[in-house]
């Protein structure tokens, strides 16, 4: 029985780093562009040129969160 528990623990330890953390998503190798989807309101990130972009809702449509230039919008 201890071998089974050891194998289960080893499997969990091997798979855990591959799971997607809550709210994190999968890391991208390239910087986002304006209009790309994001998940955390008012988060910031640099674009490919080092300019800061913010995660804000779109002004039209269904107000999805996307990367935009300019600071957070007021609620």
Average pLDDT, the chain: 78
pLDDT at res. 73: 57
Q: How far apart are CA 67 and CA 75, in angstroms?
A: 17
First to last CA, the chain: 57
Mean pLDDT of 56-62: 89
% residues pLDDT > 70 (the chain)? 63
pLDDT at res. 23: 45
More confident call, 19 vs 29: 29
Mean pLDDT of 21-46: 79
Place of tokens 């800061």: 52
* Residues 27 and 45: beta-carbon distance below 8 Å: no
More confident call, 11 vs 23: 11
**Integer CA distances (angstroms), 60 to 14, 33, 45, 55, in order:** 43, 18, 23, 15
């Amino acid at each position: 029985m201890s071998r089974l528990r050891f194998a289960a623990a080893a499997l969990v330890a091997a798979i855990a780093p591959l799971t997607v953390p809550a709210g994190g998503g999968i890391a991208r190798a390239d910087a986002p562009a304006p209009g790309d989807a994001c998940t955390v309101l008012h988060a910031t990130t640099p674009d490919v040129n080092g300019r800061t972009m913010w995660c804000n809702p779109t002004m039209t449509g269904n107000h999805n969160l996307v990367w935009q230039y300019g600071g957070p919008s007021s609620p």
